[in-house]
Amino acid sequence: MTEYTSVMKNTAEQCSFSVTENAEQICDTVNEFKEEFNQKMEDFKANPPVQKVETTHCIASESWQWYLTLGLTIFSTLLFFAMIFWQEGRIEQCRISDIKYHYILMNGGVGTVGLDSIESWFNDTKKVKQIEAEVRAYEERVQETVRALDQKHRLEEKINELNTQSQNSKKMTATNTNKTLSTIAAHRIEDLFDDFCIYIAKRYGASYDDAILDWNCVGATFRYFGRNIHIQLKVWEYSNGHNNLPDDIITVSDFVTGSGNAQDKNEFFALCQFIFELGSHYGFKYLAVKTPPVIFTKEVAVPNTLIPCMKLA
């Protein structure tokens, strides 16, 4: 029994020694691993390794179409706005050229020096606006003159038509008792018409051709259709009882100034003064006024006429 106990004791001691030795080895191994791990961590922190990652992206064919459509849309939009800006510049350039052309026409043409001056003026925006306003005003005046001339031609055609009808009617109704224009009176009427042309030229800036002379069997009719003024004088050697008027008479049958049927008193008085001075000079004795309506005093009025009539002297 004592031997068995001794053997067991020795075995236990050997086992305890083996366990202790293994524990020490394990501790040494763990410490070495710990030291190695710490050393590698310090090395990694000091100089970490660079890892290259290669990635391949695949884009579907539908995505290419979408990007192409988007790109074309953006390009078209930019091109559209660029064309608008370019077109606006072209329009402005054409407008300036048109103003230059009409300005040169308005001034009757220019030389080389004048053209250089105009080019320098059009570099100033305020000067361009001023020139444009002048050109527009000039164009409006030209159009108004054209309308006035057109109206004048229409009135002349109507008057000639009425004169033709009147002459034909007079030829059909005239009797042997009616007196006709004498040669002497015709010369006096021609001289008076020349003075009438001088009168409208000085007063209204008209030319000799602007006045119209229409002959008839008892005298003539003077007509002037100017800008904003219409004058018609009937100069007769014989009235043949028309409106109970006497012979050797000048009748203001139409006098209109301005728009509508207005009559400017100053212009009418000037016309009457012309008739007073030159009508009596050429042998005419009476003045009758159909338009505008006037009233003569009893001292100068001729009685029993259907329109106002007075003596010139």
Residues 149, 256, single domain; the answer is no
With 50 as the cut, is the pLDDT of residue 124 above it? Answer: yes
Cα distances (angstroms) measured from residue 268 to each of 31, 89, 107, 265, 288: 138, 55, 35, 5, 13
Residues 218, 157, single domain; the answer is no
Decide which of 173, 207, 234 is a domain's last residue: 173
Residues 189, 298, single domain; the answer is yes
Residues 100, 203, single domain; the answer is no
Decide which of 173, 202, 222 is a domain's last residue: 173
Residue that is written with structure tokens 């054209």 in the block: 146
Cα distances (angstroms) measured from residue 249 to each of 9, 216, 245, 274: 182, 14, 8, 14
Residue 131 lies in a domain: yes
Whether the CB-CB separation of 237 and 263 falls below 8 Å is answered with: no
Could you tell me which residue, 87 or 122, shows the higher pLDDT?
Answer: 87
**Res 308: pLDDT:** 92
Residue 41 lies in a domain: no
The 10s digit of each residue's pLDDT in 89-111 is 778 777 777 777 777 777 766 66
Peptide bond into 49 cis (omega under 30): no
As separate numbers, helices (DSSP H) first and strands (DSSP E) second, the chain gives 7, 6
Structure tokens at 64: 């290419």
C-alpha 140 chain-centroid distance: 10
Residue 61 lies in a domain: no
- pTM listed for this prediction: 0.45
Residues 156, 189, single domain; the answer is no
Q: Is 50 helix (H, G, I), strand (E, B) or coil?
A: coil
Mean pLDDT of the 285-307 span: 88
State what percent of residues in the chain have pLDDT above 70: 77
Mean predicted lDDT score pLDDT of the chain: 79
Mean pLDDT of the 5-24 span: 67
Could you tell me which residue, 52 or 284, shows the higher pLDDT?
Answer: 284
Residue 301 lies in a domain: yes
Mean pLDDT of the 9-27 span: 69
Residues 211, 249, single domain; the answer is yes
Residues 136, 256, single domain; the answer is no
Residue 264 lies in a domain: yes
Structure tokens at 134: 């002048």
The 10s digit of each residue's pLDDT in 189-220 is 999 999 999 999 888 888 878 889 999 999 99
Mean pLDDT of the 25-50 span: 73
Residues 232, 305, single domain; the answer is yes
Residues 98, 207, single domain; the answer is no
- Give the angle 115-120-123 at the CA atoms, nearest 5°: 135
| Residue numbers of the domain that contains 229 | 177-311
Domain count, the chain: 2
Of 260, 207, 196, the residue nearest 231 (C-alpha): 196
Residues 154, 206, single domain; the answer is no
Residue 14 lies in a domain: no
Task: Label the pairing between strands 229-236 and 211-215.
Answer: unpaired
Decide which of 150, 173, 196 is a domain's last residue: 173
Taking only Cα atoms into account, the Rg of the chain, rounded to an integer number of angstroms, comes to 58
Residue 54 lies in a domain: no
Which helix (H) or strand (E) segment holds residue 84: the answer is helix 61-106
Residues 101, 185, single domain; the answer is no
State what percent of residues in the chain have pLDDT above 90: 24
97-115 b/e (C-beta count within 10 Å ≥ 16 → b): eebbebbeebeeeeeeeee
Residues 103, 139, single domain; the answer is yes
Q: How far apart are the first and last CA of the chain?
A: 196
Mean pLDDT of the 148-164 span: 79
Could you tell me which residue, 171 or 247, shows the higher pLDDT?
Answer: 247
Residue 55 banded pLDDT, cuts 50, 70, 90: low
Residue 27 lies in a domain: no
Q: Is 294 helix (H, G, I), strand (E, B) or coil?
A: coil
Structure tokens at 3: 């031997």
